[in-house]
Amino acid sequence: MRLKILITGGAGYIGSMLTTKLVNLGHDVHVIDTLVYSKESLNHLFIKKNFFFHFEDVRNKKKLKKLIKKVDLVIPLAALVGAPLCEKNPKMAVELNLKNIKFIIKNLSKKQKIIYPTSNSGYGIGEKNKFCDENSPLNPISLYGRTKADAEKEVLKHENSVCFRLATVFGYSYRMRSDLLVNNLVYLSLKEKKLKIFEPHFRRNFIHISDVVEAFVFAIENFSLLKSNIYNLGLSTANITKIQLAKKIKKQVKQLKIKVIKNRKDPDQRDYFVSNRKVEKKGFKALVSLDEGISELIQYFNFNKKNIHNNY
């Protein structure tokens, strides 16, 4: 079924890959974005007649309201992503990550659908030897985590909604980022041939960007099966500690030296393993392994020397 879809922030790290997939599947895709981080991430789509680009800030309520009325489904990706960026721009973080979501929900009709990506960073610090599931209490330890958790509550007020709590994403994108943990450690491994790891026992779940895109497609095609619910979205075999991740990279970057720094705190204090069983029981399972993603990133960083404009 051909849908009219609005993606806010559709030129970003996840957005550029998702937009491309949905356009290629034949949907009419509207993107609203200010192209802050990349002017090129959607260039390959301008030839497509079912792709519509709107160079505008999502905080332009008149424009956003007009676009919402045109579509069947909204995927709001426009946000300040990551704890450091939100701490640097707290007012904008609240405007984009929370107030903008409230505005979108307010202007959706009952028939219109929304798929919202939040973050499993809301789990904060999980219990030892226990996986966080969708019923685990949220304990966000950053402004970023708090805005995303609060926005999720707003989205769930709309019956035709699906929320994905994303694990830490890795892999190549048309709008590349090298500040995400896996991407960053691979980049530093190649550039400096050494890694300094703080608090190596900290746990995290990961997911390849192509699996994130496939999950959105799955949700669109199985919306009635998933609606009015929250799902953790990660790779179940990628619940690992930071030191385990570093050792995985070392298997492919043989000359890498890993140094554990003691008595120094990681700025990101998140520490949890995540259960993805709920979405897997519905029929979706992430498939791209960390080893495959590390191999992809090694090739990308080795052969692409241009500067990457990161979030922070």
Mean pLDDT, rounded, for 143-157: 94
Closest among 36, 32, 41 to 8, alpha carbons compared? 32
Helix, strand, coil % (nearest 5) of the chain? 40, 20, 40
Give the DSSP letter of residue 96: I
**Cβ-proximal residues to 232 (8 Å cutoff; 6+ apart), any chain:** 120, 132, 133, 134, 164, 165, 167, 205, 274, 275, 276, 278, 279
Does the pTM exceed 0.85?
A: yes
pLDDT of residue 101: 98
What crossing angle do the helices spanning 209-221 and 13-24 adopt, rounded to 10°?
50
CA distances from 23 to 48, 49, 101, 146, 212 (A): 8, 9, 24, 32, 16
Q: What is the pLDDT of residues 279-301, one digit of tens each?
A: 999 999 999 999 999 999 999 99
Domain positions in the chain: 4-170+206-234, 181-205+237-271+288-303
Mean pLDDT, rounded, for 162-176: 97
Does the structural domain 4-170+206-234 have CATH classification 3.30.428.10? no
pLDDT of residue 267: 61
- Dist. CA 80–CA 288, nearest whole Å: 26
> Do the beta carbons of residue 178 and residue 308 sit within 8 Å?
yes
Q: What is the pLDDT of residues 22-76, one digit of tens each?
A: 999 999 999 999 999 999 999 999 999 999 999 999 999 999 999 999 999 999 9
**Cβ-proximal residues to 175 (8 Å cutoff; 6+ apart), any chain:** 11, 12, 13, 15, 16, 37, 38, 41
Please tell me the CATH code under which domain 181-205+237-271+288-303 is placed. Answer: 3.90.25.10
| pLDDT greater than 70 at residue 269 | no
Which ranges in 71-180 belong to alpha helices (H)?
Answer: 83-88, 90-94, 100-106, 143-156
